[in-house]
Amino acid sequence: MMRINRSLGVGVLALLVSVSLPAAAQEDTDKVIATIGGKPVYQSELNLAKTDLDQQFDRLPDEQKTAAALSALLDIKLMAQQAENAGFGKGEEFERRLGFLKDRALHNDYFKSKVVDGVTEEAVRERYNKEVAATPPEQEIKARHILVDSEEQAKSVIEALEGGADFVELAKEKSTGPSGPQGGDLGYFTKGRMVPEFEAAAFALEKDAYTKEPVKTQFGWHIIKVEDMRDKPPPAFEQVGDQIRRVLLQEQYLALIQEAREATSVEVTDPELRKLLDSMAPTEQN
């Protein structure tokens, strides 16, 4: 199975989960769609409002989503005008909040331009092929088993097999395990999936062979038969493509941040906050 390192600092992970990238406004449709107190409301603002709707609206038809976004936009505009008339929107605190919102919008636009737009389908497939080529093949076996309650019962089953009895039919008749009705079929599995005693016995068998001695585990006594051996096929691109895309986004974002930090000095002047930030930094591994 392909393994990809997805470790990130808490701050980066939270950002990548929470960032909302607004849809680009279509200039040719940026018309005035309403007025409030004589001030225009634009189509582009409605487009932004639609991207900011709560997820509960995702399942609504597009017309209903548009109506909900328009209603919310008009409410925001009305309340904003009332706030301005009442003297809100002034002072240092408001300017700091406005500055943060501007910085976040710039961050998101830059992130989209420098990272998101570069993680194309071709880039994801290229990384997938690279990971598959670099992953050593892992052996898996296809096995069946018959589970019974005692060693004597297990030896009796082995004697029946030695006499030519069919393994599948014996499993259906004798096995107490949940796979019994399916002839003891356990499907394909790799090392690490079964309890140690069962795994050691199963992977020691040749193809089409069964254990000549009962195998004891915490579940009871087993007779195991191996039906096939193969290298485990890699996961299909469709299974891991989204995961790889997230990894590429994280890697490129970290590289972008590192480049920015090398170009611009950052100093946390509050000693307690600096200590807290340092505690979140990943530790170097030998």
Q: What digits encode the pLDDT tens for the residues 230-274?
A: 999 999 999 999 999 999 999 999 999 999 999 999 899 999 999
Cα(272)–Cα(278) distance, integer angstroms? 10
How far does Cα 117 stand from its chain's mean position? 20
The CA distances from residue 108 to 104, 178, 225, 283, in Å, are 6, 52, 57, 28
For residue 166, what is the DSSP state? -
3-class DSSP state for residue 97? Answer: helix
Q: Which residues contact 112 (CB under 8 A, 6 or more apart)?
A: 21
Q: What digits encode the pLDDT tens for the residues 32-60?
A: 999 998 999 999 999 989 888 877 787 88
Residue 89 has pLDDT above 70, yes or no: yes
3-class DSSP state for residue 114? Answer: helix
Domain spanning 139-231, CATH architecture: Roll (3.10)
